[in-house]
Amino acid sequence: MTEITMSRALELFETGYRRLIDEQPKFYYSQGKSFKSHCCLVACCAEIIASRLPHIDGRKAYIYGLLHDYGKMIKDADNEMFFHGLTGYDEFMKIGYPDIAKICLTHSFTNKDFKLSDYSYPHRDLQKTRRLLSKMEYDDYDRLIQLCDLLILDFDFKTLRERIEFIKLKYRVSSLIIKRKYREALHLKSYFDKLCGCDIYSLLGVKS
C-alpha cells in the first residue's frame, strides 16, 4: 500500500475543492465555506487527540480527517440521493489509497450493522456499504474520525448533543435513531476519554 504524503493529501483536497467551486456552485455558495472549515477542523481535531495517543500517528490522523468527506466534492452535494462515503471510497480505491478509502466509508457508521431504513440514501448504495463494512475491522483511526466528525459543526468544535441535534434537523432523522446515534457517540467519546486520560471536551476547549 502506498502511504500518502502530506503534500499529496493537500493537493487532492485543494483540487477537489476547486472542482466543487467550478462544478457545484449552488453547494459552494450555500455551504462551501463551512464544508471546507468542517474538513480542516476534523483534521485538526484528529491531530490534537492523536497527540495524546502514542499508537496513533498525528500526521495520518490529520490527513484522514481532511479527506474523510472527499466524496462530497466529487458528486453533486446538493443532491443528497447518493452516499458520499461510498463515492469517496470508490475514488480512493481507484487512485490507490485503500486506507483513506476505508475512512471515507467508515466515518458515518459508528454501528456497522445498521438498518437500511435508518438512512435516506439509496438502498443499493447502503447494501454495498454494508457488504464492504462487514469485511472491515474498525481500528482506532476509524473510531477517531467518527468522533471528530461528530465534534465539528460549521466553524467550531461543538458538543455531541449540539452536533446530533443538527443532524436531526438537517436530515429529518427519527427520534429513535437520533437517540441511538447519540448513545453511540457518547460511547465513542468515553472510549477516547479513557485512552487519552482526560475529557476530550476539555482537551478541545468545548464548553459542555
Binding site for Fe ion (CB under 5 A): 69, 149
Q: Which three cell numbers stand for residue 94?
A: 481507484
Minimum distance, C-beta of residue 69 to Fe ion, in the bound complex (Å): 4
Nearest to 178 by CA among 163, 158, 157: 163
Rounded alpha-carbon distances, angstroms, from residue 42 to 62, 67, 69, 91, 186: 8, 9, 10, 20, 17
Minimum distance, C-beta of residue 38 to Fe ion, in the bound complex (Å): 6
The answer to whether 144 touches 200, Cβ cutoff 8 Å, is no
Q: Which is nearer to Fe ion, 91 or 149 (CB)?
A: 149
Q: Which is nearer to Fe ion, 2 or 80 (CB)?
A: 80
The answer to whether 20 touches 32, Cβ cutoff 8 Å, is yes
Minimum distance, C-beta of residue 39 to Fe ion, in the bound complex (Å): 7
Question: Distance between CA 65 and CA 100 in Å, rounded?
Answer: 9
How many other CB atoms are there within 10 angstroms of residue 160's CB atom? 21
Q: Which is nearer to Fe ion, 1 or 31 (CB)?
A: 31
Rg from Cα positions in the chain? 16
Minimum distance, C-beta of residue 64 to Fe ion, in the bound complex (Å): 11
Minimum distance, C-beta of residue 134 to Fe ion, in the bound complex (Å): 23
Look-up: residue for cell 436531526?
168
**Amino acid identity for residue 85 in this structure:** G
